[in-house]
Amino acid sequence: MNTGRTVNVGTAAPDTEEPETRDAMGKPVTHRKSEVRLGREVQARIGQQLRAMYDEVVKEGVPQHIADLVRRLSEKDNGVA
């Protein structure tokens, strides 16, 4: 049912003085809040935990079939048949 009403996209949002901005799909764009940075100690701790988690994976090495494939591709790129 057409009521003849229109939506004013340029009108101010209820809690702000600025006009509401919409994206390409017509949805209201929310502004990102200020960036939150982690302290050096937190970053260091995350790094330690990630290294501990992936250390075993690194120690496993590359499976032989993958190493062979890389070698063959490298030879092909270098013109060795």
pLDDT digits (tens, 9 = 90+) for 3-39: 444 444 555 545 555 566 787 888 887 776 777 889 9
Query: For the chain, what percent of residues have pLDDT higher than 90?
Result: 38
What is the DSSP code string of 2-52?
Answer: -------TTSBPTT-SSBPPB-TTSPBPPPPPPPP---HHHHHHHHHHHHH
Residue range 49-67: average pLDDT?
Answer: 92
Give residue 69's domain range: 40-77
Q: Domain count of the chain?
A: 1
Does some domain include residue 29?
no
**pLDDT at residue number 34:** 75
Does some domain include residue 27?
no
Does some domain include residue 31?
no
- pTM tops 0.75: no
